[in-house]
């Protein structure tokens, strides 16, 4: 069986619609640039689909590995405890698996966005826009 990648963009969730729209926009941008990848979104709370429902929505897509990546800037309790628990990760592990369509599908947990140079460039761009 050939490898097929899924990406689950994980958002926090919010009562305000803008949060969901941003996470969906990030996911749509990934999907637009990487047409061979199945991209889904899931939210920790307050928005749908939940992370669990988003994982289940990969059924029928043929993915063999799902990279679950938080669309968060930095690590905190949600990144280190809450989301790993929802994903079914054992403490200290960044990899687990689920059953989809009778197949074992690997889930790997990515890091938050962090202080990457691309983030710094975006902050500078926003500063220039503000000026």
Residues assigned a catalytic role? 12
* Cβ contact 37:5 at 8 Å: yes
93-100 contacts at long range (C-beta below 8 A, 24 or more positions apart): 98/55, 100/56, 100/58, 100/59, 100/63
* Cβ contact 105:45 at 8 Å: no
């Amino acid at each position: 069986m050939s490898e097929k990648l899924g990406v689950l963009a994980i958002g926090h969730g919010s009562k305000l619609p803008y949060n969901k729209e941003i996470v969906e926009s990030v996911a749509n941008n990934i999907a637009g640039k990487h047409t061979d990848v199945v991209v889904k979104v899931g939210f920790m709370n307050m928005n749908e689909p939940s992370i669990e429902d988003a994982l289940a929505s990969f059924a029928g897509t043929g993915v063999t590995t799902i990279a679950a990546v938080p669309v968060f800037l930095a690590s905190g309790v949600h990144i280190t405890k809450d989301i790993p628990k929802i994903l079914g990760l054992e403490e200290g592990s960044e990899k687990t698996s689920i059953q989809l369509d009778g197949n074992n599908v690997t889930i790997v947990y990515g890091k938050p966005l962090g202080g990457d140079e691309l983030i710094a460039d975006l902050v500078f761009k926003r500063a220039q826009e503000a000026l």
